[in-house]
Chain A
Amino acid sequence: MALTFETVIGLEVHVQLSTNSKLFCPCPTDYVGQEPNSFVCPVCLGLPGSLPSLNARAVQLGVKIALALGCSVPRVSRFDRKHYFYPDLPKAFQVSQFGLPLAEKGAMPIFLGGLKKTVGVTRLHLEEDAGKLLHGTPDGRLSGASITRVDYNRAGIPLAEIVSEPDMSTPMEAREYVLSLRRLVRYLGASDGDMESGSLRVDVNVSQKCSDGRVGGRVEVKNVNSVRAMERALEYEISRQREVLLSGGQVYRETRHWDDSNGSTRGTRGKEEAQDYRYFPEPDLPPLVIDDSFIRAVEKDLPELPWEKRERFQVEWGLSSEDASTLSERLDLAEFLEETVAHGAGRGSAANWVKTEVLRILNETGIETDALPFTPRSLGALLAKVDEGSLSNTAARGVLEVMGREGLGLEEAMRKAGIVPGGVKGDLLTEAVREVLQGHPEETALVLSGSDSSGKKRKYLQGLVMREIKGQALVGDVSAAIDRELDLMKGFRE
C-alpha cells in the first residue's frame, strides 16, 4: 500500500512594532538608511552601567495585536534574559519574554478560495532586536581580506514575536497566514509589516506525519525573506522530508537555512547541539503588570478587523468573495470605500469604482488614499448621480478625471468638463436620438422589428446617445426620447 503524508506547519513571525523609540531606550527607530551606529546610546549598546526602561507604546501595540488575535493577556508578564554570544548582541543576552509572555492562546482566521480556516496562536511576546553584521573589506571593495563590522542601529528595536500553533498543512495556508497577519498589523498601525525591509520576519517549522505511523523531526527553516521564498522553502522542505522518509531514513530535528538563489535548504550544523540559553528573569525590569483599564483603553482603540470587514462586505453588502477580499486588503482603501458610501454612493457602484478607478490610481502612483486628489465625499456625490441615473458611467469617469487632474470639487469639475447632469432634454435630446438611430439603421431596424428580445441592441443605442450628449441627460429622459422616435418611425413605416 502506498504511503501517504500529512504536513504539519507552524510559523514564528517577528513583527517590528511601529514605535518612535526603541524598546528600552529613547533612541529613534527609523534607522533605515542612516549612518551605521548613529542611532545608539549606552542602553542599546549595552554599555556597562546602563539600564533598560520599558517603552509603554511597544506594550500598547503588543497588547493591541494580542487582543485582535483574541489572545488572553495575563495581568502579569515578565522579561527574561536569553543568553548567547554573538557580536550583534551587545549585552550577550537578548531581553525577551520566555516564561510569562505578554499574551497567549489566540487564533486568526485565514481564507482559502473563500473557505475559512482558523489557525491557533500559541503566544505573543515582546523582545528586542539585535544589531546587524556588515561584511566587507577594509577598503570597501568586494574582494580581498574580509572584515566584519557591526551596526547597532537596529539593536533594541521592539519586536513582537507571534507563534502559531502547528495548524497549517500546506504552503498555501502558510502564505495566507502570513498575509493575513501582515494585513492585521497594518490595520492596527502596529507595524508596517514590510518583509523586504525586515519589519516582518518568518521562521518556518515543518514536519511530516507518515501513514505508517512514523513522524519526522521538526525542521526549522530560517532565512526566508519573502512570502514567495517561504512557499518555495516549504515546498522544497516537504518533498525533501518525504523522500527521506520514503527511502526509510529519518528526518532529524534541526535548523536549516533557506538558500533562495539555488532554491534549497541546507543544515546549519553538522549535529544538532541543544542551545542552552540560560534564561532567567531580567532583574533590571520589574514584572510587567497590565491592568484592566489598560486593556480596555487598547480595546477601545481597536478598528474593525480585516476579516470582520471582509465578512461584512460579503454578507451585508453582498459583494463577491473576491471583491470583499480585495476591498478589505488595505484599511485605508476599505475606509475610503465606506466613506464613499456614507456620502451617498450605492454599495455596489462604490465597490466597483473603488476596486477599479481608485485602486488603479493608487497602484499607478503608489500614494495612500489620503493623498488622492479627490475625497470620498466628492466621489460619493458623483456616484450618487450615477446611481440615480442623472449621469452616465462614462460622464462620471470624465468628471472624476477632471477632479483628479485639476483638484476640483464635484460641481466645479462638472462645470469644467462641460457636463450638466440632466441638462440635455427636449429638442436637443430628440436631435441626438435621431442622429444615432439614423446612423445605425441595422440596429434600429432590429429593434423596430421586435426581434431584439434581450433588449441588447436597444441598450447599445441608448449608450450611443448618452455618449453623444456626454451623459448629460437623465436615463429616463433618453429612454423616453428613444421610444418616441421609434414610435414615429413605426408610424412612418405603417
Chain B
Amino acid sequence: MKSEPMDAAVIASAVAGRKCSAVEVVSASLERIAAQEPRLNALITVMADRALERAAFIDRQVASGGDPGPLAGVPVVVKDNLCTRGVRTTCGSRMLGNWKPPYDAAVVEMLEEAGAVIVGKSNMDEFAMGSTSEHSRFGPVSNPRDPSRVPGGSSGGSAASVAAGYVPIALGSDTGGSIRQPAAFCGVHGLKPTYGAVSRWGLVAFASSLDQVGPFSRSVADMALTMDVIYGRDPRDSTSNERGRPRFAEGALNPSVRGTRVGIVREFREGVLEQPLAKAIEDAALALGESGCAMADVSLEESVTFGLPCYYIISPAEASSNLARFDGARYGLRMDAPDFVSQLLLTRGAGFGDEVKRRILTGSFVLSSGYYDAFYTTALKVRKKICAEFDRAFTSADVILMPAVSSFPFKKGNFDDDPVGMYKSDLFTLPVNLAGLPGMTVFTGLERSGLPTSVQLVAPRWQDQRLIKYAAVIEKKFGRSPVATGGCF
C-alpha cells in the first residue's frame, strides 16, 4: 500500500469496493507528505486531522452501503488560493495572515461531495503572481524532478504534490499559465478549462476575466475523472456557464481522433524552443498522425507578438482592483495606526511582496485617467484580435498542438532581478487565457537528466473534452507520468 501511490480511479474503486479503507489511503498520503515536505515545501498547510476525520466518514459511508462518490477516499491537494471553511487560506501572502474563510470554494465542495479528501493546501506564488513558486511568504517550492530547480508557478505546490506522489490529483488556478507551466516543469498533466467551465466561487481572485481553476494529474484518466466532478455552471459565479455535459471519462477511455485535424503553429517551429521540447511536439504530431489525424498549418502571429504586453496590462489592471480590498479593516494582516489611511498604507506596505506590489502599481497606472485609453482600452482591442485569431485557426484545425514552455525548469533564483524575463516565460500559455480557451499540458516523457518534456493542446471554447481525447492518444504513446523519486527512495 505504501510503496507506490495509486491513481484516483484505482483508489476510488478500491475504497468503494472495500478493498482498502479511505483512512489507509489518506494515511499513506500524509506519510509521503511528512517524508518529503522538508525537501519540497509544496504545502502551506497540511490538513492531517480534518483529512483523517473525513476519510473515516467515507469509510463509514461505505460500510453503511452509501454511495461514497466517484473520488471516494482520494486524497487531493488544493492551491492555497481556494477557500476552505475554517482552514487558513493564505494565497502565499503575509497579507491574509491566518485568515480562515467562513466558506468553501465551489470546487472544494464538489470534490468533497464526490468523496475526495483534502489533505493539504499548496504553496504558490503570492496571490498567484509569478512563474516560479518562489514568491511565497512560506518560502520557495522545489521541483520534485530536480530540487535545485523551481516547479514553475504559480500553482507550483500543486504540481509538485502530484509529481511527488503526495496525491493523484491536485487543483490549481491558471491566469496566464499557472497550471500548464508548472505541469510542464514538474512532468505531470495540467488542464486549464474553458473560461467559465469551472466555478470561481471561493477562488481568491487575481485577474477575474482570466482566472480558471483546473486539475493536475499523472494520468489522463484521473484528469477526466476530476473534470467530470468540477465541470459545470454554478449560479454563484455569474461568469460560469456550460455547454452540455461532456463525459470526460468516456473520452479518456475511447479516444477517437481519426479524421481530425491537428494545428501546428507556424511561429513556434524553429529556434524558439529547447531542442527536446521541440522534439516532443514533433513526436506528439507523429503519434497523432499515426492515430489518423491530419496536420494543419496555423498561425498565431498576433498572439505571439502582442499577447504578452496585452496580458501584462489586463491582468495587473484587474489585480490592482481585486487586491484593493486588503486594507487591514476586516481580516488578515493589520498594522496598527492612528487613522484609516495610515493603517491602509502600513498594512499594504507590509503585507504584499514585491512582485504583487509591482503588479498593483502597473495595474493602477494603466487604469488611471489619461493613460486608460493608451493602455487598457488598447489591450482590450488586442484581446479581441487574439480571440479572432484563435477562431480563425480553429477553422482549419480541431485542436492546436503547441509548446507549453520553451525551456526546462529554471534554476532557483534565476529571475531574482529580472521580472520581465520571468514574464516572458508565459508566452505560450497566456494567449490561451486571453482567448478564454481550454488548454492542457500533456506529459510526454523524462529526459535522461530526469527533466520532463511536454506539449500543450488547445481546443475551441467548450471543447474541453477534446483535450482529454487527444491527451489520451498521446499518453498511450508516451506513457503516463511516473512519480518523481527525486533519487531519495
Chain A: residues with CB nearer than 8 A to chain B? 42, 45-54, 81, 83, 85-87, 90-93, 148, 150, 274, 276, 278-280, 283-286
Q: Do B367 and A278 touch (CB < 8 A)?
A: yes
Does B297 sit within 8 A of A, measured CB to CB? no
Q: From DSSP, what is the main secondary structure of chain A's interface residues?
A: loop
| Chain A residues with CB below 8 A from B372, complex form | 278, 280
Contact with A along B97-130 (1 / 0, CB 8 A): 0010111010000000000000000000000000
Query: Interface digits, B77-104 against A, CB 8 Å rule (1 contact, 0 not)?
Result: 0000111000001010000100101110
The secondary-structure label for the interface of chain B is loop
Binds A, one of B327-335, B419-427, B450-458, B478-486: B327-335
B228-266, CB < 8 A from A:
235-239
Q: Which of B89, B235, B239 contacts A284 (CB 8 A)?
A: B239
Interface centre among A46, A49, A86, A280 (most CB of B within 10 A): A49
Residues of B within 8 A of A51 (CB): 200-201, 236-239
Contacts of B390 in A (CB 8 A): none
* Known contacts A49-B203, A49-B205; A87 and B329 CB within 8 A of each other: yes
B-side contacts of A92, CB under 8 Å: 324-325, 327
Cβ–Cβ < 8 Å partners of B320 in chain A = 278
Please give, as numbers and ranges, the residues of chain A lying within 8 Å of B318 by CB-CB distance.
280, 283
Closest CB-CB distance, A150 to chain B, in whole Å?
A: 7
Judging by beta carbons under 8 Å apart, are B327 and A85 in contact? yes
Which chain B residue shows the least CB distance to A282? Answer: B208
Please name all residues of chain B whose beta carbon is closer than 8 Å to the beta carbon of A50 when the two chains form the complex.
Answer: 201-202
Cα A45 to Cα B83 with chains together (Å)? 15
Q: Per-position contact with A for B200-217: 1 when CB-CB < 8 Å, else 0?
A: 111111011100000000
The one of A48, A54, A280, A284 that contacts B325, using a Cβ cutoff of 8 Å: A48
Contact with B324, one of A85, A276, A279, A284 (Cβ below 8 angstroms): A85
CA distance A278 to B207 in the complex (A): 16
Q: Which residues of A contact B237 (CB under 8 A)?
A: 51, 284
What residue of chain B has the Cβ atom nearest to residue A24's Cβ?
Answer: B238
- Asked whether A48 lies within 8 Å of B376 as measured between CB atoms, the reply is no
Contact (Cβ within 8 A) A49 B325: no
**In the complex, which residue of chain A has the Cβ closest to the Cβ of B211?**
A283
Query: Can you offer 22 A-B residue contacts whose CB atoms are under 8 A?
Result: A42-B103, A46-B325, A47-B102, A48-B205, A49-B83, A49-B101, A49-B103, A49-B201, A49-B203, A51-B238, A53-B238, A83-B321, A83-B324, A91-B324, A150-B329, A276-B368, A278-B321, A279-B367, A283-B208, A284-B205, A284-B237, A286-B238
Report how far A471 CA is from B204 CA in the complex, Å. Answer: 79
Chain B interface residues (CB < 8 Å from chain A): 81-83, 89, 91, 96, 99, 101-103, 105, 200-205, 207-209, 235-239, 317-318, 320-321, 324-325, 327, 329-331, 340-341, 344, 364, 367-369, 372, 376
Residue of B nearest to A88 (CB): B329
Residue of A54, A87, A90, A148 with most chain B CB atoms under a 10 A cut-off: A87
Judging by beta carbons under 8 Å apart, are A285 and B83 in contact?
A: no
List, in ascending order, chain A residues with CB within 8 A of B344's CB: 85
The reply to whether A48 and B200 form a contact with Cβ atoms under 8 Å apart is: no
Complex Cα gap A42–B105 (Å)? 11
In the complex, besides A47-B331, A85-B341, 5 extra interface pairs with C-beta distance below 8 angstroms are: A46-B325, A48-B331, A49-B202, A278-B321, A286-B238
Given A47-B331, A283-B208, A54-B101 contact (CB < 8 Å): no
Asked, given contacts A42-B102, A83-B321, A280-B317, whether A49 binds B368 with beta carbons under 8 Å apart, the answer is no
Chain A residues in 8 Å Cβ range of B324: 83, 85, 91-93
Q: Which residues of the partner chain B approach A278 to less than 8 Å between Cβ atoms?
A: 320-321, 364, 367-369, 372
- With A and B bound together, what is the CA distance between A81 and B91 in angstroms? 23
Are the C-beta atoms of B321 and A49 separated by less than 8 Å? no
State A42–B103 Cα separation when bound (angstroms): 8
**B200 / chain A contacts, CB cutoff of 8 Å:** 51
**Residues of B close to A53: CB separation below 8 A:** 235-236, 238
On whether the beta carbons of A93 and B96 are closer than 8 Å, the reply is no
Decide if B239 touches A283 in the complex (CB within 8 Å).
Answer: yes
For B204, B324, B376, the residue with the greatest tally of chain A CB atoms inside 10 Å of its CB is B324
Query: Distance in Å from the Cβ of A292 to the closest Cβ of chain B?
Result: 22
CA distance A9 to B101 in the complex (A): 48
Q: Which of A46, A48, A280 lies in contact with B101, CB distance below 8 A?
A: A48
* Chain A contacts for B91, CB-based, 8 A: 48
Question: Are A90 and B330 in touch, CB under 8 angstroms?
Answer: yes
| Chain B minimum-CB-distance residue to A277 | B369
**B83 touching A286, Cβ below 8 Å:** no
Please name all residues of chain A whose beta carbon is closer than 8 Å to the beta carbon of B209 when the two chains form the complex: 283
- Within the complex, what minimum Cβ distance (angstroms) separates B330 from chain A? 7
In angstroms, Cα B320 to Cα A52, docked, is: 18
Return chain A residues, CB-CB under 8 Å to B207.
283
For B340, give the chain A residue with the smallest CB separation.
Answer: A87
Across chains A and B, which 8 residue pairs bring their CB atoms closest together, nearest first? Answer: A92-B324, A283-B208, A283-B209, A278-B367, A48-B204, A49-B202, A49-B83, A91-B325
CB pair B376–A280 under 8 Å, yes or no, is yes
Closest to B317 in A: A280
Closest to B320 in A: A278
CA distance A42 to B99 in the complex (A): 13
| Complex CA distance for A279 and B372, rounded to whole angstroms | 9
What is the CA–CA distance of A308 and B308 in the complex, to the nearest angstrom? 59
